[in-house]
Structure 1
Amino acid sequence: MSTETTERYRRALETRDVELALSGFAPDVIVHSPLTSRVRFTGHAELKPLLEVAYTHLRDVRFHTDTGDATTRVVVYTARIGAEEIEEAAVLKIGEDGLITEVTLFVRPLPGLVALMDAFGPDIARRNGREFAARLLSLAAKPLLAMVRMGDRRAVPLAGPRG
């Protein structure tokens, strides 16, 4: 049953089908943000806007790993958020009924993670009726994204091995 669960998770993301995704999650699912341990989404009511935002921004999704056992699976995929590439690993806890009860998300590389923050944060705040927070998040993320992109392109190669 666990591979059926991850197959539904994969299909929902690839087709951007929010209802299909929700059908794979337990009603009281907990989703841990890849950005901070201070944010988690609990239940379908909080998860649905997150999925809608994610499915709006993620492009070129390609799953490459699905491993684990009947109660814990790890799925990994690559995608794009705007111009940035990301790789996301999701640790899925699966209940006896085959529904996902808990998800912990991990995103790399850093420019992709910051692009995710820049795209998702304001949209999620808007969907939660928090327009001021959406504007603040958007303003705060822009300089951080510029610094991370510049550091990734210019500074990181300086520290790498000589070739």
Structure 2
Amino acid sequence: MQAFRKAVEAGDHDAIAALLAEDVVFTSPVAFRPYPGKAITTAILRGVWRVFEDFRYVRVIEDAGGRDHVLVFTARVGGRTVHGCDMLHLGEDGLIDEFTVMVRPLSAAQALSAAMGEQFARISREAEAAAAAEGSAGAAH
């Protein structure tokens, strides 16, 4: 999952989006229900980029089959230090089809929830615009 890590560390949102399956399911550490679809997942990841400070991956764990990856990270949000991990599953096509994030401690998860809550109207607009653009691009072909 070196390509994903490099894209995140470079802040290359287009490269991140290119690694996501159209039917990716994003599971948030602070939301009850998962978010299905590339447009909303990409928008959420952009929102996270805006709220996390000093984000860095500190370890990568991979299964022997190469389809499951855990990228352990640290960051700060709202003055709180966050420890977490991105758990990624690759589909048959090599694209990320499951993206689950876990964070700790509780105070950091609460700070993340508040910060992302402030971002969510923008995230929703970005996801709707991306889905509309994808729909019109698909119709043009």
TM-score range relative to shorter protein: 0.7 to 0.9
What residue is the counterpart of 2:24 in the other structure? 29
CA deviation after TM superposition for structure 1 residue 22, in Å: 0.7
2:36 alignment partner, one of 24, 42, 46? 42
Q: Is the 8 A contact 2:44 2:123 kept in 1?
A: no
What residue is the counterpart of 1:121 in the other structure? 117
Correspondence list, 1:1-163, <5 A: 6-36=1-31, 38-69=32-63, 70-128=66-124
Q: Is the 8 A contact 1:49 1:124 kept in 2?
A: no
CA deviation after TM superposition for structure 1 residue 15, in Å: 2.2
SS of alignment partner, residue 26 of structure 2 = strand
Larger radius of gyration: 1
Q: Is the 8 A contact 1:63 1:76 kept in 2?
A: yes
Higher helix share: 1
CA gap 1:77/1:127 in 2 versus in 1, 3 angstroms: closer
TM normalised by structure 2 equals: 0.79
Moved runs in structure 1, 4+ residues, more than 2 A?
125-129
CA deviation after TM superposition for structure 1 residue 97, in Å: 2.1
TM normalised by structure 1 equals: 0.69
CA gap 1:15/1:59 in 2 versus in 1, 3 angstroms: farther
SS of alignment partner, residue 35 of structure 1 = coil
Give the unaligned 5+ runs of structure 1.
1-5, 130-163
What is the identity, as a one-letter code, of the residue corresponding to 1:77?
Answer: F
CA deviation after TM superposition for structure 1 residue 115, in Å: 0.9
What is the identity, as a one-letter code, of the residue corresponding to 1:115?
Answer: A
Q: For residues 86-131 of structure 1, what are the alpha-carbon distances to aligned partners after superposition, in whole Å with 9 as ceiling and x for unaligned?
A: 01112111112221110111101111111100111121134426xx
Give the unaligned 5+ runs of structure 2.
126-141
Q: 2:109 & 2:90 partners in 1: Cα distance? A: 26
Greater relative contact order structure (CA < 8 Å, 6+ sep): 2
Q: 2:122 & 2:40 partners in 1: Cα distance? A: 13
- Aligned Cα RMSD in Å? 1.6
Q: Is the 8 A contact 2:22 2:37 kept in 1?
A: yes
